[in-house]
Amino acid sequence: MQIQAEPRLEHAIEAIRVRFGSQALTRAAELPPPPAWPSGTAIDALTGIGGLPRGRLTLLVGSGTCGKLTLALNLLAGATHEFAHAVVIDAGFGFDPGGLSPFEPARGSLTVVRPPAPDAAGEAASALARAGAGFILLMGEVPEHWLGPLESGANRSGTVVVGVIDAPSRAFAHASSLSLAFARVGWIWERRQLIGLRTLARCAKNRVAPPIGESELELRYIPSPTLRVGEGEGGVMANPEHAWSAVV
């Protein structure tokens, strides 16, 4: 039955192409990958396209002090130099702009949105993606019914959307095109002083290219005497003369 149906299906496909043009119907294997935004970090090598996908949702997931938030801040700071508008959707009111200082962001390009409710967070993210914001960092999830408009708006404008969360819901995970899972594998000590951590970054989901696998990254402190550093992600007390640096 399936063999008999194949010629009719091929004929229908060809008829659509003849009537509406060759681009009206394309096999998935023939579709090009989405354009990439090279972030300049080590995770570019894990995406399969040389950077974070534009117009798609990328998730950074992992529990505890695994480095995902540090990496997200690194990406955000880089985006402030690449795009006219880099936006943080801070639904949980946990974003501290001072944490960006070690990464030397262009603060004139940074906008922080603190919505009063989850629905407002989803509405703001969707509207900003549709309007063409270059980079959106989601500090937490948005309601499921806003994921479709967010994806659609980002896909049309090419917005880079990154979500940071410990464990995403099924809907949030399904909406993502790329998911990178982080797990701390150890601390970096030098002369009895904590200077950083090692984390394992694994490509848990990739709909833009064949999965690459995993890579061990190092997050190190850099001297910054003017910064007053408190408890880091997960409650680790950093040396007050240091702050998190970029990924090595």
Integer Cα distance of 130 and 123 in angstroms: 11
What is the per-residue pLDDT across 52-98, written as a single tens digit (0 to 9) for each? 999 999 999 998 889 999 999 999 999 999 999 999 999 887 888 88
pLDDT at 8: 82
Domain 33-247: which topology?
A: Rossmann fold (3.40.50)
Query: 105 is written with which tokens?
Result: 């962001």
Q: Is the pTM of this model over 0.85?
A: no
Which residues have C-beta within 8 Å of that of residue 209, sequence separation ≥ 6?
Answer: 33, 47, 48, 49
Query: 156 is written with which tokens?
Result: 């049309």
pLDDT > 60? residue 242: no
Query: 10 is written with which tokens?
Result: 């091929």
Q: Which residue has the tokens 């703001």?
A: 124
Pairing of strands 110-113, 135-139: unpaired
Integer Cα distance of 144 and 122 in angstroms: 9
Selected residue with higher pLDDT from 166 and 228: 166
pLDDT > 50? residue 225: no
Question: Are 72 and 60 contacting, i.e. CB atoms less than 8 angstroms apart?
Answer: yes
pLDDT at 234: 37
3-state SS assignment for residue 105:
coil
**pLDDT-derived band of residue 24, with 50, 70 and 90 as boundaries?**
low
pLDDT > 70? residue 235: no
pLDDT > 50? residue 231: no
Segments making up each domain of the chain, as ranges: 33-247
Q: Which residue has the tokens 């998190």?
A: 244
